[in-house]
Amino acid sequence: MEVGIDLERRKALKTGGGLGLLGLLAAVGLIQPGSALAEWQKSAFDAKTMDEALTALGVVVPESSAAIQLTAPDVAENGAVVPVTVESSLARTEQISILVDKNPTMLVSSFVIPEGTEGYLNTKIKMAQTATVIALVKADGKFYRVSREVKVTAGGC
Amino acid sequence: MSSPTKMRASVTNGVTEVRALMQHEMENGRRKDEAGKLVPAWHITEFKVLHEGRVVLEGQFGTSVSKNPYLGFRFKGGKAGDRITLSWVDNRGDKRADEATIS
């Protein structure tokens, strides 16, 4: 029996960012007054969606990709157990993360896909309410995402 | 004491499919018990799956993963009789590792 979780690897996981989207959010808070914000950024403050805001601030928003399939029920009766499948046919899929935009904590889980393992994951997540499930996939160094709305009848967070 | 992960692995055309059900409460830290007291967060934080000592999947969990986390994934290679080991650590520092054999 081996509990094979070595510390170096854990560190790499932590710093290597399983937190793609959250990293983007953090980046918003990192902008220094006086540099990029010399002028009041109308487009950023007028942004109605997160993506618009990030784009206006010069943050790269992950592209959508038809090579990623996100399967989840249209209506989930029990928010405590929502089956989700992510399937990426992108070459060199390295990482898959699952996020739910209206959960108290947005990031559900993050997976590292080594070479030889397929870009396929089937798991079960909790959802507090009707929300968008996002699959964030890192392939060949770039981030992609797909999202899907799931209606939740009884929240389970 | 934690309970063993239920795990099955089978190989078809050179691809091994693994299905695992870890046994864990996955408390999110926001639920209250009958007395109205918050139940502290208690969940798996990291896991790793090895095939004959080689990592085939690893990841991290937050509190939004369902109770008794389920995972299904596939990797190339593997043959009947090979060992698959799944280990996890939770936020209290509890650990466990369980084995299954590819059929």
What's the confidence (pLDDT) of residue A51?
A: 80
Look at residue B1 and tell me if it is in a domain. no
With tokens 């902008």, the residue in question is A31
Of A6-20, A112-126, B86-100, the least confident: A6-20
Q: Which residues of B touch A76 (CB under 8 A)?
A: none
Using the predicted structure, report yes or no on whether residue A16 has a pLDDT greater than 50.
no
Q: What is the mean pLDDT of residues B69-91?
A: 97
Residue B29 lies in a domain: yes
Q: Do A97 and A72 share a domain, yes or no?
A: yes
**Could you tell me the residue range of the domain that residue B11 belongs to?**
6-101
Question: Mean pLDDT for chain B?
Answer: 95
Does B14 map to a domain?
Answer: yes
User: Residue A106: which CATH number?
Assistant: 2.60.40.2470
CB-based contact A105 B76, cutoff 8 Å:
no
Please report whether residue B62 resides in a domain: yes
Tell me what pLDDT residue A42 has. Answer: 79
Same domain flag for A34 and A108 = no
Bridge partners (DSSP) listed for residue A122: A85, B72
**% pLDDT > 70, chain A:** 75
Is residue A16 located within the same domain as residue A71? Answer: no
Do A133 and A82 sit in the same domain of this protein? yes
Question: Is a pLDDT exceeding 70 seen at residue A31?
Answer: no
Give the pLDDT confidence score for residue A6 in this predicted structure: 61
pLDDT value at position A40?
74
Higher-pLDDT residue of B61 and A42 is B61
Long-range contacts from A132-135, C-beta under 8 angstroms, 24+ separation: A132/A100, A132/A101, A132/A102, A133/A70, A133/A72, A133/A82, A133/A84, A133/A98, A133/A99, A133/A100, A134/A21, A134/A98, A134/A99, A134/A100, A134/A101, A135/A68, A135/A70, A135/A84, A135/A86, A135/A96, A135/A97, A135/A98, A135/A99
The whole-number pLDDT of residue B92 equals 95
Mean pLDDT of B15-30: 96
Asked if residue A17 has pLDDT above 60, the reply is no
- Please indicate, yes or no, whether residues A67 and A48 belong to a single structural domain of this protein: no
Segment A82-97 mean pLDDT: 96
Kindly state whether residues A72 and A13 are assigned to the same domain.
no
Which residue range is the domain that position A132 belongs to? 63-154
What is the C-alpha to C-alpha distance for residues B55 and B48, in angstroms, rounded to an integer?
7
CB contacts < 8 A, A to B, total: 119
For residues A44 and A82, state if they share a domain: no
For range B2-20, the mean pLDDT:
96
Contact B75 A2 (CB under 8 A): no
Nearest CA in chain B to A79: B66
Q: Give one DSSP letter per residue of A54-81, joined into a string.
A: HHHTTPPPPEE-TTEEEE--SEEEETT-
Q: How many domains does chain B have?
A: 1
Please give the residue of chain B at the shortest CA–CA distance from A7.
B46
Give per-residue pLDDT as tens, A36-67: 545 677 777 788 877 888 788 777 888 899 99
Residue with tokens 């030889």: A116
Mutate to test the interface with A, among B32, B39, B58 (most CBs of A within 10 A): B58
Query: CATH number, domain at B72?
Result: 2.60.40.10
